[in-house]
Amino acid sequence: MMSDYLPNKDAYNVAVVGATGAVGQTMLEILAERNFPIADLVLVASSRSAGSRVEFKGREYVVQDLETFDPAGLDIALFSAGGGTSLKHAPRFAEAGCYVVDNSSAWRMHDDVCLVVPEVNPHALSMARANRIIANPNCSTIQMVVALKPLHDAVPIKRVVVSTYQAVSGAGGKAIEELAEQTRSLLLGNEAKVNMLPARIAFNVIPQIDVFMEDGYTKEERKMMDETRKIMEADIAVTATTVRVPVFYGHSESVNVTFTGPMTADTARSLLADAEGVCVVDDPATADYPLASEAGGTDPVWVGRIREDKSCPDSLHLWVVADNVRKGAALNAVQIAELLVSEH
């Protein structure tokens, strides 16, 4: 294969770091589904799961311990093992000559690290030639910018007000188990144990994702605000309220957008219908709109409930749904890896 970033080869040496986690497992599924050109595959995680076996395309791989793993000879490493792990180990992989696509928030806002959504800013990837670290954005941010970019290209966006309804899978495999366990316990009349999330999530809605900052926003909200501006390369005012809901897979977002000029719902609908990576489901007559339950397991960003905001000129409401583990994390990372191995 011809690549602008890596030596030309038929297939590349790939590592998945965090291979036993919710995102890591989905990365493996997507690498297989999309037939990514892999020569050697290495699966890496913590010492807790080192030595265990994970299947890929019918073959078993023994999980390696990240602490002692030598990245020499790797071309691409997909990291999804937490921010601290990325801060410590991504530079070591990059120095060994490997491109790191990092799903954590550790590197996203570094000035010399690119933050890439292939449908939105593929050109930003060229920055990675210098340091070989590429940041994969926050899950809620990815699906929002995929929906906003085609509209912004037609009429620049001035302001975005977003409220999210985020699935527990965004907090990892243990949070998925926590929702299941709490639901089971409560239905049996037992107490629900809270471990991973800041409050009980079963039969509840939690207006906190990640930790609070001094200004009263949470870190998740700050990520959406800062990352949107970096990816869109535009001075857009963004404010966010991020909320955890008792859903396993699929983040939903209510997005209110104010443009610098007129933008009708019909124009937005047709721009989005033609946009890469977007599917419009929007028919009030038949009560058709995107649902997390239907977006789970799919690749597109689904947009519906497109309507003009009666309270404010040049403004629209959108309802944006995507599988947070796929497009919000694993799929976006694999798409970045595909850009790395393809010729521009």
Residues 35 and 98: beta-carbon distance below 8 Å: no
Residues 6+ apart with CB under 8 A from 64: 42, 43, 44, 45, 50
Q: Quick one: which of 5, 12, 18, 117 contacts ligand A2P (CB under 6 A)?
A: 18
- Residue 240: is it exposed, middle or buried by C-beta count within 10 angstroms (0-12/13-18/19+)? buried
Q: Quick one: which of 66, 128, 135, 151 contacts ligand A2P (CB under 6 A)?
A: 66
Q: Quick one: which of 13, 26, 64, 85 contacts ligand A2P (CB under 6 A)?
A: 85
What phi and psi, each to the nearest 5 degrees, are found at residue 99?
-80, 130
Return the SS3 of 136.
coil
How many residues make contact with ligand A2P (CB under 6 A)?
18
CB of 26 to ligand A2P, least distance (A): 10
- Which residue's CB is nearer to ligand A2P, number 50 or number 272? 50
Active site residue 251: yes
| Cα 290 to Cα 292: distance, rounded to the nearest angstrom | 7
- By beta carbon distance, the residue nearest ligand A2P is 21
Q: Which of 251, 279, 312, 317 is catalytic?
A: 251
Nearest residue to 46 via CA among 78, 71, 68:
68
Q: Quick one: which of 4, 29, 34, 46 contacts ligand A2P (CB under 6 A)?
A: 46
Residues 6+ apart with CB under 8 A from 284: none
- Which residue's CB is nearer to ligand A2P, number 45 or number 116? 45
The contact pattern for ligand A2P, residues 137-176, with x = CB under 6 A and - = no contact, is -----------------------------------xxx--
| Strand extents, DSSP E, 214-314 | 237-241, 251-259, 278-280, 301-308
CA angle 327, 301, 217 (to 5 degrees): 75
Q: Which of 139, 152, 279, 312 is catalytic?
A: 139
Q: Quick one: which of 13, 49, 104, 105 contacts ligand A2P (CB under 6 A)?
A: 49
Active site residue 139: yes
Which listed range, 21-29, 97-105, 221-229, 234-242, lies at the site for ligand A2P (CB under 6 A)?
21-29
Residues 170 and 164: beta-carbon distance below 8 Å: no
Say whether residue 53 binds ligand A2P (CB under 6 A). Answer: no
CB of 2 to ligand A2P, least distance (A): 33
Nearest residue to 202 via CA among 212, 210, 217, 191:
191
Residues annotated as catalytic are 139, 251
Give the binding site for ligand A2P (CB under 6 A).
18-24, 45-46, 48-49, 66, 81-82, 85, 172-174
